[in-house]
Amino acid sequence: MRQRGFTLIELLVVIAIIGVLSSVVLVSLNTARAKARDANRAVAINQLRNALELYYLDNGQYPPSGGASAPNSGWTTSTDSSWTTFQTALAPYMAQLPRDPNQSASDWPYTAGVYAFSYYSQNYGCDRQWYMIVWRPEGVKTSPGIAACNGQVFNYGNGTVTVGNRAQ
């Protein structure tokens, strides 16, 4: 009499197929999570831009940047205490400043693998009449360049630059 059941080879083949399928699903899931974080970043930057424009309407200039530990003290970055000072300036317009959904512990978004928001508004011939926000979407390989108020072009590697400009 013959026993019914699966052979060892059949079980191994089924386990291998399940393993391949699960790895494909996990890769797709990680991609979807990264896209969701990027969408969250875009919304956060839009909210920050709205708060900056309201600040400008009330004060005739954008809030000053400064105090960051990286890349230099002229910047404000969400990875250190300079973001708290920036929060104080924008408190009437925004209850809480956004932080990157995958916030890094230190540094700024020009550095590979670092996710944070950095703000700059200083003097390039038109002090605090323009600003830029540097942030890094996941998986972006472009090198954006932007022009400040006097036409100076900034290029920030793999980061994304958001600019506001009131200067002529």
pLDDT digits (tens, 9 = 90+) for 105-153: 777 666 777 788 888 887 666 777 888 888 888 866 554 455 555 555 5
In a domain, 130, yes or no: yes
In a domain, 3, yes or no: no
Cα gap 23→26, rounded to integer Å:
5
In a domain, 2, yes or no: no
In a domain, 1, yes or no: no
Instruction: Assess contact for 24 and 32: CB atoms under 8 A.
Output: no
When divided into structural domains, the chain yields a total of 1
Task: Tell me the average pLDDT of the chain.
Answer: 80
pLDDT at 150: 53
In a domain, 81, yes or no: yes
Cα gap 55→34, rounded to integer Å:
31
160: part of which helix (H) or strand (E)? Answer: strand 160-165
In a domain, 52, yes or no: yes
Which carries the bigger pLDDT value, residue 57 or residue 113?
57
What does the pLDDT average to over 21-36? 85
Q: How many beta carbons lie within 10 A of that of residue 158, not counting itself? A: 17
Which carries the bigger pLDDT value, residue 87 or residue 159?
87
What percent of the chain shows pLDDT beyond 70?
A: 77
Which carries the bigger pLDDT value, residue 144 or residue 68?
68
In a domain, 29, yes or no: yes
Of the segments 21-35, 45-59, 65-79, which one has the largest average pLDDT value?
45-59
In a domain, 70, yes or no: yes
**Where in the sequence is the domain holding 79, given as residue range(s)?**
8-165
